[in-house]
């Protein structure tokens, strides 16, 4: 029997079992928590028992996760639909040696890292200045992976942000750049155009807008532009001095790119030393992922929990709930990482995927979410596996009492999801309030929590640059392992292409230059409405 078949059987058996009962096994906490350094993943509050865990590990073994992992780390072209290696791990392993097609790629990685670090230092110290003096603001123009990583990191690492303020413009909606530039002084602003391809229409349009904004006040606006891209010819054609162009190779996927020069804005904000601590955290997770047995390997375990919830039990979504306000953009970051990587309907060999693809990922920081959507998580008819993240310590010693409340809320939520509240308990509660008879029953039923809802908790000492690096690399490898088990290519993104093409074909229709006769009636009518009202 294959591991999938065993798991299908175990999935059915789990339906009649309560997670709380699994804790009768005195060893559960030892077996269902894993750690690396001082970071702990607790997955004991899931409906996975010892037999299921063994079958899940067997699944990873059958899928040959270990061989795929080695292939990735050593530069094999595992992104087969684009013919590329997948080496974002090389960006955080600066002392390493990685050979692609007989060439050690690391000297170039190190050189770019050193140039970016020197530039970041110069911007921070004022050696590199704008027309009006020291740079006060950095505007990163990019979208998707060229935005979400540094934007998420800028918020996450605010306690370390002692350089210029950073701003992030991604949307082609003119409102975004308009509202961002309003209030900034072009004479002391640095614009970073971040685009792997340097063709993305949103980014290039916003870059043009920023250039015009700067040109109105700055004699040599190009001097206050930098670029991050794999396309050196295009950055040159755009007029950006090669001294301020930071390249990377096509073996870094957009959503995996914040470790390299795409992280330049973050590097300027927190300084290259702190940025290197972030890289070190990622490298530490790489070492853990590469060497720990599956039963103690955080990314592998997190992936297996995900497979259990989505592909075996059929829970289509996954909530990421950081009890850490500074991780407020982590859910958005993970949406791209997970959904662009594993939202595929075809396996690596082109055959139809016979399993569900990766889950819908969503979330908001706690405690805010508690006052918004947790109602559904606790009492809705669909089960939403929850992933909590929390630090033992905040960065505001004077507000330690608030941090304690934050942690109490985080732990309370996973406890409530686990335990629930029975009808008897709810009835007793209502009886205490003086209700009787049918009204007591009716009111009690509304106050029942089914419980038995799965969650994991990732707990770490404090959200430092190192820990952020660990967290991001943990999720990257989790996505990788899930992709290997599902047999798909986590590193392409063909699903974003069609909409881009159609947007191009719609521009002339919206302008009235074409009648849109090839379009469906709904699209034609919407375009006509636009023309009538714009
Ligand atoms: O459209 C999707 C995508 O290609 C993402 O994968 C990528 O992160 C984003 O667009 C931005 O691409 P670029 O960095 O080339 O501008």
Predicted confidence (pLDDT) per residue in 195-213, tens digit: 999 999 999 999 999 999 9
Phi-psi region of 320 (alpha: psi -120 to 50; beta: other; left: phi over 0): beta
**What pLDDT, on the 0 to 100 scale, is given for residue 113?**
98
For residue 496, which atom of ligand 1 is closest to its CA?
1
- Tell me how far the alpha carbon of residue 198 lies from the centroid of ligand 1, in angstroms: 9
426 pLDDT band, cuts 50/70/90, is: very high
Residue 26 has pLDDT above 90, yes or no: no
> Cβ of 70: how many Cβ atoms within 10 Å?
12
Question: What's the gap in Å between 200 CA and the centre of ligand 1?
Answer: 7
pLDDT digits (tens, 9 = 90+) for 74-125: 999 999 999 999 999 999 999 999 999 889 999 999 999 999 999 999 999 9
For residue 440, whether the previous peptide bond is cis, meaning omega lies within 30 degrees of 0, is no
Measure 230 CA to ligand 1 centroid, in angstroms.
12
Distance in Å, CA 140 to ligand 1 centroid: 14
Mean pLDDT of 292-297: 98
Q: Please state which CATH number belongs to domain 3-75+277-419+453-492.
A: 3.40.50.10490
For 75, list phi and psi in degrees, rounded to 5.
90, 20
Please tell me the distance from the alpha carbon of residue 271 to that of residue 94, in angstroms, as a whole number. Answer: 17
User: 398 alpha carbon to ligand 1 midpoint, in Å?
Assistant: 41
Question: Which residue owns the Cα nearest ligand 1 atom 8?
Answer: 145
Q: Report the nearest atom of ligand 1 relative to the CA of 202.
A: 16
For residues 439-455, average pLDDT: 98
Give 160 Cα–ligand 1 centroid separation in angstroms.
28
Q: Which residue ranges have their beta carbon within 6 Å of ligand 1?
A: 143-146, 195-197, 200, 203, 254-255, 340, 493, 496
* Structure-token pair, residue 249: 């190779």
Q: Does domain 105-270 have CATH number 3.40.50.10490?
A: yes
Calpha distance 38→466 (Å, rounded): 11
Pocket test for ligand 1, best of 81, 143, 152 (most atoms within 8 A of CB): 143
Instruction: Look at residue 385 and give its three-state secondary structure.
Output: coil
Please identify, by atom number, the ligand 1 atom nearest to the C-alpha of residue 500: 1
The predicted pLDDT at position 101 comes to 87
Name the β-bridge partners of 321. 388
Q: Determine the pLDDT at residue 25.
A: 87
What's the length of the chain?
Answer: 534
Name the burial class of residue 263, with classes exposed (0-12), middle (13-18) and buried (19+) by CB atoms within 10 angstroms of its CB. buried
Residue 262: phi and psi, rounded to 5, are -60, -25
In angstroms, the CA 64 to CA 74 distance is: 16
Q: Which residue matches tokens 């970071």?
A: 39
Residue 350 in this model has a pLDDT that exceeds 90: yes
Which residue has the CA at smallest separation from atom 3 of ligand 1? 144
Which atom of ligand 1 lies nearest, measured to the CA of 257? 8
What distance in angstroms lies between residue 211's CA and the mean position of ligand 1's atoms? 21
Which region, left, alpha or beta, applies to residue 198 given φ > 0 means left and ψ of -120 to 50 means alpha?
left
Could you tell me the sign of the dihedral formed by the alpha carbons of 176, 178, 179, 182, in that order?
A: positive
Nearest to 308 by CA among 527, 1, 19: 19
105-270 shares the fold of 3-75+277-419+453-492:
yes
Return the H-helix or E-strand segment holding 321.
strand 317-323
Best probe residue, ligand 1, of 84, 86, 144 (max atoms within 8 Å of C-beta): 144
SS3 at position 338: helix
Which tens digits make up the pLDDT trace of 126-147? 999 999 999 999 999 999 999 9
* Average pLDDT taken over every residue of the chain: 97
* 146 CA: nearest ligand 1 atom: 14
Pick from 172, 526, 114, 219: which is nearest to 516 by CA?
Answer: 526
Residue ranges per structural domain of the chain: 3-75+277-419+453-492, 105-270, 497-533
Most ligand 1 atoms within 8 A of CB, residue of 82, 493, 501, 503 to mutate: 493
Predicted confidence (pLDDT) per residue in 476-510, tens digit: 999 999 999 999 999 999 999 999 999 999 999 99
What amino acid positions are annotated as catalytic residues? 340, 371, 500
The Cα 463–Cα 327 span in angstroms is: 9
Q: For the segment 162-187, what is each residue's pLDDT rounded down to a tens digit?
A: 999 999 999 999 999 999 999 999 99
């Amino acid at each position: 029997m294959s591991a999938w078949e065993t798991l299908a059987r175990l999935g059915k058996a789990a339906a009649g079992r309560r997670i709380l009962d699994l804790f009768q096994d005195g060893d559960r906490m030892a077996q269902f928590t894993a750690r690396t350094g001082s970071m702990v993943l607790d997955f004991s509050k899931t409906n996975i028992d010892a037999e299921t865990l063994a079958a899940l590990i067997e699944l990873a073994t059958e899928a040959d996760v270990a061989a795929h992992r080695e292939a990735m780390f050593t530069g094999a072209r595992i992104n087969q639909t684009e013919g590329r290696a997948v080496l974002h791990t090389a960006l955080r392993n600066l002392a390493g040696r990685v050979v692609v097609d007989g060439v050690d790629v690391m000297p170039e990685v190190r050189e770019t890292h050193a140039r970016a670090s020197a530039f970041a230092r110069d911007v921070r110290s004022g050696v590199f200045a704008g027309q009006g003096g020291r740079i006060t603001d950095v505007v990163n123009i990019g979208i998707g992976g060229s935005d979400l990583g540094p934007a998420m990191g800028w918020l996450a690492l605010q306690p370390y942000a002692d350089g210029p303020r950073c701003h992030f413009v991604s949307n082609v909606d003119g409102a975004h750049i308009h509202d961002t530039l309003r209030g900034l002084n072009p004479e002391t602003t640095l614009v970073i155009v971040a685009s792997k391809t340097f063709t993305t229409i949103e980014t290039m349009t916003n870059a043009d807008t920023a250039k015009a904004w700067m040109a109105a006040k700055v004699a040599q606006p190009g001097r206050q532009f930098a670029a991050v891209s794999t396309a050196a010819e295009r950055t040159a054609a755009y007029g950006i001095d090669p001294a301020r162009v930071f390249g990377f190779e096509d073996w870094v996927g957009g959503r995996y790119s914040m470790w390299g020069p795409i992280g330049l804005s973050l590097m300027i904000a927190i300084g290259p030393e702190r940025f290197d601590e972030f890289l070190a955290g990622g490298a530490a997770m790489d070492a853990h992922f590469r060497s720990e047995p599956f039963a103690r390997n955080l990314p592998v375990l997190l992936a297996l929990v995900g497979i259990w919830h989505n592909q075996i039990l059929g829970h289509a979504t996954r909530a990421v709930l950081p009890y850490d306000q500074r991780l407020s953009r982590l859910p958005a970051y993970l949406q791209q990482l997970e959904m662009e990587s594993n939202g595929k309907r075809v396996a690596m060999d082109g055959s139809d995927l016979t399993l569900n693809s990766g889950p819908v990922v969503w979330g908001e920081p706690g405690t805010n979410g508690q006052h918004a959507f947790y109602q559904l998580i606790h009492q809705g008819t669909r089960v939403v596996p929850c992933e909590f993240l929390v630090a033992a310590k905040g960065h505001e010693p004077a507000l330690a009492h608030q941090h304690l409340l934050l942690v109490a809320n985080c732990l309370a939520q996973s406890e409530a999801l686990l335990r629930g509240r029975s009808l008897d308990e709810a009835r007793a509660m209502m009886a205490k309030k003086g209700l009787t008879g049918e009204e007591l029953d009716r009111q009690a039923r509304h106050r029942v929590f089914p419980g038995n809802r799965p969650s994991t908790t990732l707990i770490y000492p404090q959200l430092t640059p190192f820990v952020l690096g660990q967290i991001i690399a943990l999720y990257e490898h989790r996505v990788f392992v899930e992709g290997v088990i599902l047999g798909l290519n986590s590193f392409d993104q063909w699903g974003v292409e069609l909409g881009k093409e159609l947007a191009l074909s719609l521009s002339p229709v919206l302008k009235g230059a074409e009648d849109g006769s090839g379009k469906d009636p709904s699209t034609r009518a919407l375009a006509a409405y636009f023309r009538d009202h714009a």
